[in-house]
Structure 1
Amino acid sequence: MNKTVLITGATSGLGYEFVKMFAADGYDLVLVARNKLKMEEIKSHYSNSKVTVIEKDLSNQYAAKEVFEEVKAAGITINTLVNNAGFGLMGKFDELQISKQSEMIQLNITALTELTYYFLPEMRNSSNAARILNVASTAAFQPGPLMAVYYATKAYVLSFSEALAEELTDTNVTVTTLCPGATKTNFASVANVEKTKMFSGAMSSQEVAEEGYRALLSGKRVVITGSTNKLGAYAAKFLPRSLAAKIAKYVAKEA
């Protein structure tokens, strides 16, 4: 049986880097994103892999279940799940549109949780190794004024993933949480944080994806990319939460 990975947010940034890495290792690919034309373009570059394209906006209710149903209808078995899709918004909580913030919660939290829920039973019942990679952020380690909801969603991803990893101890399934800091992807322009202090030393998406990929294959539970980000996440454990929030607010301002 061929190894098959499902990757959300597969058309750009970390998602596209993961596509390249899994394809190079001989995986069949299930790509999930909103941009069907871009996915079809990516598919045309990987004739040596079976590539299935699913056009879906995971910020919509029920989208995750629809993805699962389409995968099952196609007779595809998923061995590796990469929950990469997500976005952030910069601004004061009460000044940002609540509809967009609700979409963020739906995508960053609900879709990730539901996809994991639907695919996990089959992964557990497989006799082969199965892997889940959930993309969180260094934002998971402290509160984030001016990006309050985004930081909170990533704290959920980290907590959920670590708990699930422990539940799955002694099974064939591992759960890895990738916690990058600022990364050069479309995220910065969507979130309107390109000119902030936090993005002054952004890592490349390739660097981040490579660290995440190695951690996934080795079964590591949490990987924080970049030495500076590791130090910051470690320090956040010992700082008073109020001070950590002030620091996060400072780096959210324009450089």
Structure 2
Amino acid sequence: MEKAVTPKTRIFILCNPQNPIGRVFTREELIQLAEFCERHDLILVSDEIHCDLILDPEAEHVSALNLPERFQNRTITLLAPSKTWNIAGLGYAFAVIPDDSVRRRFCAARGHTLSEINALSYYAAEAAYRHGEPWRQDLLTYLRGNRDTLVEFIRTRCPGLSIEPGQATYLAWINGSSVGNPAQHFEKTAGLFLSDGAFFQWPGWFRFNFGCPRARMLEGLEKIAAHL
């Protein structure tokens, strides 16, 4: 990261939990990142859209908003109910910016690049955050079951593929380099549309969305196993 910083670098964009691997960063790691930003005078933009989808009980989401006070003059935290409560189509998201000067610069820079939030989106977000916790807990239980089922399937039924369980999100990160470009391979042979790892600068890998009914997930996995 030190080598990547240039005189033109202004921000460091963090995805926590990380997409696509589902990694949850520890407080110690986040403080190191904040110190890196402080050292290079960078704004830390923390995308935490998957923060309500922590699957491992021992993993703790630490928001940039909970970092020590000395870092709060250089943080922008991005949040939304869209991933957790499946309301992405309503286009509701928000930024929490503790520092007044950074907030003013953010608002000035956004200009007309971002659409305004409509009334329906406000009501949906309020309903999700105020009343959606029981549903979210049921969702986490179901997603944990899907994740564990998927990991076992890949390890026992898909020779040549490898996977490590993600700590968060409903996305699995799978090594399919044994078939070359797995996203293209499974699209052509099995009719599956998977996220190509090359998009994430990791060719040979693919991202699998298990945020769906278990029967549908298993249908897709059976197609993968049949076309290895």
TM-score scaled by structure 2? 0.32
Larger of the two Rg values belongs to structure:
2
Return the structure number with greater helix share: 1
TM-score scaled by structure 1? 0.29
